Structure 1
Amino acid sequence: MKIFLVGDYTSGTGPANVTKHLLDVLPKDTLRLRTWNKITRTFEILRKMKKADICLISGYSKQNVLALRWAKVLKKPSCYLMHGCVEHENEINGVPDALMNRIERETLRLSDRILGVSMQFAEWLKTYYPEHADKVGYLTNGIDWKCMKERPNGVERDANRILSVGGGMPRKRIVKICEAVGRLNDRGYDLTLSVAGDTGKDTEKIRSYPFVRDHGLLGKKDMEVLYCSSGIFVQNSCFETFGLAPLEALLCDCDVLLSRHVGALSVLSGIEPEDVIEDCENVQEIEEKIERLLENGNHTRLLVELDKESTSWEARASELQTILRQIKEKKL
């Protein structure tokens, strides 16, 4: 079975990194895009689709509609690996985009199968797009265990440093973390909150707290330093289809506190109630659970329960190929 994987794998975004990991472990004859000029890419899609047995779309793009329509013409089965929902996320972040919504909905309509990147996200998709519920499944993101490294030289951990990523994006609900940390400091703690990520609607409010350090967008190495120098990583998103950052933090020996909306929970089998924020708007709950982690960390317990074999990208690629074969056989 020859797969044509249509998607970005070079930009360094979360979806692009997932696509790159899959390409690294899928069969060597897997077809991929080699050109990024719009015109030449169009001809590449038209040409390579003819050679493929199945089309796999990874991530949102305008080119998806072209690829899927051409696949329909050629009677090639298709699968859409969905990393996020731009319609819902843009709405949460206060930047709705009607054109992006139309492209995403058309991608969903044209795809024979839709795979969310976590079980939680797949269940959400069935509710949000009930017309497509019968073709929604999931392929949980893998973990790149080969990238586990020793702590960067000269980096010391500050147990009083809390870290969160997502910058000023409202869906990350970092303002609520700020409020919780502020309450803890009012009670005698001396905590700092490091925030990494691009600016957004909440940036000004986040920066107004005296204990916050806004690092902005950081590269991989700088993020490793932050993970290794922080005591607790908090992801308080109201919507997070997967989220690699909590796993990266955990692998750097950070304690982690995640909202129940974070899809990465699906790979953390050792999770307990005190590790999860049930209500991402509840400042008191966030405050209490940060305080528990300050007293009794969870990274050792969670790491011990992580199964390297079943969470590897090799395992995910094998699972993906099984799903694609089933789609192909059903289409025949």
Structure 2
Amino acid sequence: MGDFILDTGPGIANKMLRKGLGENKNFLFSDAKSKLTRVLEIIYKTIYSDCVCFCSSSKANIIAIKVAKLFKKKTVYIMHGYLSHEYKINNTEVDEEELKEIKEYEQYIFQNVTKVFCVSKKLMQYMKTAEPQFAEKFDYNFNGVDFQKIEDIARMYNRKRNQKQILSIGGGMRRKNNLTVCKAIDKLNKEKNLNLKFVVVGLPYSDKDKIESYDFVTYYESLPYEKVLELMSESAIYVQNSSFETFGLSVLESLISGCDLLISNNVGAVDTITTITKDDLIFNTYEEQEIADKIEHLLKSHNAERLKQGINKEEILYTNSAKNLVNKIEELFYKNNH
């Protein structure tokens, strides 16, 4: 039960899960559009299921949990984001009422589902510390990636890569820290005369105007998924400078598309690349000098091939990711029934 339509990070991950589960008739999906049909669908499909798996955060989950309890069904939650924590990072002025509401929703989910599957090991470890009362409920299952589709699109746009172009997704969202990346690139352009370009994709949030004020920036508020992959295929470096990132699908998409990578050590996808080294990671997401030095290093010694070799396909190929999740859920049943 969740969003299988939007091209957001969670939406794409959910579509990959659905694709990975294939045409198996043992799996039902929430497809209803209107509020009324959604409620009817929740009741009808819950009755016919052994377990309900929530893969998006939605108020409808609370209704579904109550229905599942009524019919004694198990429930699991795929945790794409830690909403209350991200709300605090993204907003300079915190609306206490809104934050309280988000926290109450999250606590209800953690309290009432059988298991919470975080989308990375990093997030699972973080959650065990952040919510110690639910530590036993946290497990992980990496998001799935369709390598073939990304490689095919990258091949289609296999034009000459622009060695001066750096790309970041996440727009003006504060926790993505694209403004700090701007400052680092500005430093390199002024001090080293590198003439770098920075392409930023994503919603405005709080930092868009400041990011756009730099003359080397091209900003897109929204692009179709394929267009984003095309940008990845023509950029030299992909930077993900998040202070908190539960997985970071675009990190892997850009790597498969052939970009060199510079990513924050807070990104969950770090756990899926076995060949990653300190030079590939940002340890202080607010330190423009560190980012500038590492971009300069990457322009001379590329890391795309080495990192690509280290991708753990066993866990993140979309068919494997879906199968791993089902195995973990089945194990849960077995353990609780014996």
Shorter-chain TM-score range:
over 0.9
Q: Which ranges in structure 1 are unaligned for 5 or more consecutive residues?
A: 1-5
**Native 8 Å contact 1:257 1:276 kept in 2:** yes
Distance change >3 Å, CA 12–CA 327, structure 1 → 2 = same
**Native 8 Å contact 1:23 1:30 kept in 2:** no
Question: Alignment length, in residue pairs?
Answer: 327
2:8 to 6, 13, 28: 13
**Native 8 Å contact 1:194 1:214 kept in 2:** yes
Q: Secondary structure at the match of 2:223?
A: coil
Alignment of 1:49-88 (within 5 A): 49-88=46-85
Offset, 1:152: 3.4
**Native 8 Å contact 1:243 1:263 kept in 2:** yes
**Native 8 Å contact 2:147 2:256 kept in 1:** no
1:93 to 90, 94, 100: 90
Higher helix share: 2
**Native 8 Å contact 1:269 1:306 kept in 2:** yes
1:203 paired with 2:205, answer no
1:172 paired with 2:176, answer yes
Matches of 2:315 and 2:124 in 1, distance apart?
19
Deviation digits for residues 209-230 of structure 1 (CA, Å, limit 9, x no counterpart): 1211112211112212211111
Q: Secondary structure at the match of 1:55?
A: strand
4+ runs of 1 displaced by more than 4 Å? none
Matches of 1:249 and 1:222 in 2, distance apart?
12
Offset, 1:307: 4.2
**Native 8 Å contact 1:236 1:258 kept in 2:** yes
TM-score by length of 1: 0.94
Distance change >3 Å, CA 261–CA 212, structure 1 → 2 = same
Deviation digits for residues 159-212 of structure 1 (CA, Å, limit 9, x no counterpart): 111111111100000111011111111122111111111111011111111211
Corresponding residue for residue 109 of structure 2? 107
Corresponding residue for residue 300 of structure 2? 295
Corresponding residue for residue 45 of structure 1? 42
**Native 8 Å contact 1:77 1:331 kept in 2:** no
Matches of 1:20 and 1:142 in 2, distance apart?
9
Q: Secondary structure at the match of 1:108?
A: helix
Percent of aligned pairs with the same residue? 35
Q: Secondary structure at the match of 1:32?
A: coil
TM-score by length of 2: 0.93
**Native 8 Å contact 2:196 2:216 kept in 1:** yes
Alignment of 1:173-192 (within 5 A): 173-187=177-191, 188-192=193-197
Corresponding residue for residue 134 of structure 2? 132
2:119 to 94, 117, 120: 117
Q: Which amino acid aligns with 2:13?
A: V
Root-mean-square deviation (CA, aligned residues, Å) is 1.5
Q: Which amino acid aligns with 2:55?
A: S
Alignment of 1:181-330 (within 5 A): 181-187=185-191, 188-330=193-335
Q: Secondary structure at the match of 2:4?
A: coil
Corresponding residue for residue 3 of structure 1? none
Q: Which amino acid aligns with 1:246?
A: V
Q: Which amino acid aligns with 2:126?
A: W
Matches of 1:55 and 1:164 in 2, distance apart?
35
Q: Which amino acid aligns with 1:81?
A: I
**Native 8 Å contact 1:54 1:328 kept in 2:** no
Matches of 2:49 and 2:315 in 1, distance apart?
28
Q: Secondary structure at the match of 1:31?
A: coil
Matches of 2:218 and 2:7 in 1, distance apart?
24
Offset, 1:113: 0.5
